[in-house]
Amino acid sequence: MSQASSASPCQGTNDFVIRFANTNGTGSASANNMFAKAIIRMGIPVSAKNIFPSNIQGMPTWYEVRINENNYLARRGGKAELVVAMNAQSMAQDIDSVKTGGYLLYDSSKQLADEQFRQDITYLGMPISAICQKEYQDPRQRQLFKNVIYVGALAALLNIEFEVLKALVGDQFKGKEKLITPNIYALELGYQFANHHFDCPLAIRVERRDLLQDRIMVDGNTATALGAVYGGAIVAGWYPITPSTSVVEKFGNYCQRLRIDPASGKKNFALIQAEDELAAIGIAIGAGWNGARAFTATSGPGISLMSEFLGLAYFAEIPMVLIDVQRAGPSTGMPTRTQQSDILSCAYASHGDTKQVLLFPDSPKECFDLTAEAFELADQLQTPVIVMSDLDLGMNDHLSEPFSWDDNKQYNLGKVLSAEQLDSIERYGRYLDSDGDGICYRTLPGTHETKGAFFTRGTSRNEYAAYTEKSDDYVANMERLIKKFDTAAKLVPKPLITQGQKLAKLGLIYYGTSSHAINEVLAELKEHGLSADTLRIKAFPFQPEISKFIEQHQEVFIIEQNRDGQMRTLLINELAIAPEKLISIANCDGLPLTSEYVVNGILSSLSNELSNQQVG
């Protein structure tokens, strides 16, 4: 059942990668997720990445779990110490993905071909299909319990506490007690087989720790949906698109619990599935114009389609929130791969001179916080606010700080005039900048019988919302919108800067999920005798702190996940930075960023610079 490796076995406690290779649509996700949760319940930090195809069933899918007690939770990349190979279609690729000295757990019900055996890894053959054929009559049960059986085997191989798995089964099937016993039995089948046929535990294993503090495991889309609820959203216009669909689905689920009037039983929310992306954002804009906090969620292709409406909301100054869960483009691209490739299309969304407010969460906690804050900013600034998530953050589970909320918080609706305030005004001007901050006073429909009405238009207008094509009126309006954007820079979250007492030569600028690799990057750079200061961008428009950080450092690297270095371009354009000052470390393979990629890019750049100096 087991073929030993000629190479020294991989060793490590609470520091290795296991990759599950399955077929999409076979029920493996639930079992693989149970494995990751078991490690978490043993107090060990875990990062789980689901790499799945864009079709519904039949294609290879991978689930990669990094276990690391140093809290390095970015994708590690490279080959895995242990691969669970359950898909004959990808078997050759999966065998190749095992690290030298590593292990391959596979279904030996069908013998591997001679050319599929490597001498430098250990093969752990387990006749899982044959076991299921013997134990179960129902074909669907045979497939589903196959996944549970290999989790049981992993418990023996990796020293996972079996009682933890039993407790997880109990939690998962609470209310469906008849399913608990057969699932535990399947775990025991795998556990007992591994103990009887393999040398358990392996040289890679887990040991209980207490390293999680109060962190929770949750995906970013769930956090975003909950942030929208707490942020006061009551309307969602929706057109489904991967990977943003679950944002609105979860929002609806939470609203069914939290937005039902207890007295009447009526819904205090509206969730409207539209015929296309244009209608979805149109619903959100219409609701925002009417005084409701409203949003829609989409991804790159939707951003392209929604751009004209974003221009209308920018120019007519209507608050709404857009959640962009970015994926690999352009066009359809890779719908189930992650990127940060909508930066420029969102920052300047729509034709003409437009600038949109962007927020960049890096964790589920920030998805919750920044989504709630987005609704505050949209109302205060009377403009769209775009929350720039991505597939990795949105669809994968992450260890996160718990969410918190002040129940005494009062929503800030910004400059909205009441009937009494309108009575005190001789003449209301919708686009009059009374306070000098670029933000005008708005009214909501029905506020006053005779005052405060205005025509909302996408054409040019004067301060009183009357149509005009006078150049002076148009220029004054456009310059006021820039003044409002400058005000926005004072309201949006400031960058997070980390510096030592002595400024480092190197500066690293990053945003969103690129932050996951940074602590490991800094540790690896230190091994090369290098230190670096860091700045995480949390919002656009940019603040003066970013310009100062760039000025203070000799070499500044912009770390992001797209081909063209879009954030670098935005920094150069907005802050008038010399292009040669900013060095791009840009990854666009659709997989979550690794520290290895970043460090290699930095070292390569520094090496090339040194070579050029020597030649000069």
What's the average pLDDT block by block, 10 residues per block, for the chain (616 residues)? Answer: 77 97 88 96 97 79 97 96 96 97 96 94 96 88 90 98 96 87 94 97 98 96 98 97 97 96 94 97 98 98 97 98 98 96 98 97 98 98 98 97 96 97 95 97 95 92 96 97 98 96 95 98 97 98 98 97 98 97 97 97 88 58
Rounded Cα distance, 244 and 389, in Å: 9
Q: What is the pLDDT of residue 615?
A: 52
Residue 612 confidence (pLDDT):
63
Q: Are 547 and 368 in contact (CB under 8 A)?
A: no
Residue 435 neighbours by CB distance under 10 Å: 11
- Count of CA atoms in the C-beta half-sphere (13 A) of 174: 4
Tokens of 174: 């609470």
Phi/psi-derived region of residue 67, left when phi > 0, alpha when psi is between -120 and 50, beta in every other case: beta
Strand-pair partners of 107? 126
Count of CB atoms within 10 A of residue 197's CB?
A: 16
Closest CA to 221 of 241, 247, 242: 247
Give the per-residue pLDDT at 611: 63
Cβ atoms within 10 Å, residue 463: 16
Using an 8 Å Cβ cutoff, are 511 and 537 in contact? Answer: yes
Report pTM. Answer: 0.96
Q: Which amino acid is at 492?
A: V
User: How many CA within 13 A on the CB side of residue 84?
Assistant: 28
Which amino acid makes up residue 483? K
Q: Which DSSP state fits 614?
A: H
Angle among Cα 331, 387, 520 to the nearest 5 degrees reads: 90
Residue 313 host element (H or E)? helix 300-316
Q: Which of these, 573, 576, 575, 554, lies nearest to 565 by C-alpha position? A: 573
DSSP 175-233: T-GGGHHHHHHHHHHHHHHHHHHS-SS-SEE-------TT-EEEEHHHHHHHHHHHTT-
Nearest to 388 by CA among 246, 545, 224: 224
Cβ pair 440, 380 in contact under 8 A? no
CA 599 to chain centre: 22
Give, in degrees to the nearest 5, the angle at Cα 546 between 612 and 433.
140
CA distance 122 to 88: 18
Angle 319-219-300 (CA atoms, 0-180°, nearest 5)? 50
Packed helices 544-552 and 566-575: angle between N→C axes, nearest 10 degrees: 100
Kindly report the number of other CB atoms within 10 A of residue 613's CB atom.
8
| Helix axes of 245-258 and 220-230: crossing angle, nearest 10 degrees | 40
Q: Tell whether the torsion through CA atoms of 478, 480, 481 and 485 is positive or negative.
A: positive
For tokens 């597939």, name the residue: 391
Q: Report the C-alpha gap between 470 and 205 in whole angstroms.
A: 74
At 101, give phi and psi (nearest 5°). Answer: 90, 0
Return all residues near 308 (Cβ < 8 A) that are at least 6 apart.
278, 350, 351
Give 581: exposed, middle or buried? Use CB within 10 Å, 0-12, 13-18, 19+. Answer: middle
Joined tokens for residue 187 = 């775990």
Distance CA 537, CA 515 (A): 10
534 contacts 498 by C-beta, under 8 angstroms? yes
For helices 162-172 and 139-158, the axis angle rounded to 10 degrees is 150
Please count the helices (runs of H) and the strands (runs of E) in the chain: 19, 23
Instruction: DSSP letter for 408, please.
Output: T
Q: Tell me, what's the pLDDT at 610? A: 62
List the beta bridge partners of residue 48: 65
DSSP 8-state secondary structure symbol assigned to residue 10: P
Helix axes 595-615, 518-527, angle to 10 degrees: 40
Contact 233, 294 (CB under 8 A): yes
Cβ(339)–Cβ(381) below 8 Å: no
pLDDT of residue 27: 84
How does DSSP assign 57-77, residue by residue? SSSEEEEEEEEETT---S---
Residue 52: per-residue pLDDT:
86
pLDDT at 368 (0 to 100): 98
Residues 6+ apart with CB under 8 A from 554: 505, 506
Residue 259's region, left for phi above 0, alpha for psi from -120 to 50, else beta, is alpha
Q: List CB contacts of 378: < 8 A, sequence separation 6 or more.
A: 288, 293, 319, 320, 321, 357, 384, 385
Tokens matching residue 334: 């890779």
Residue with token string 């070292």: 603
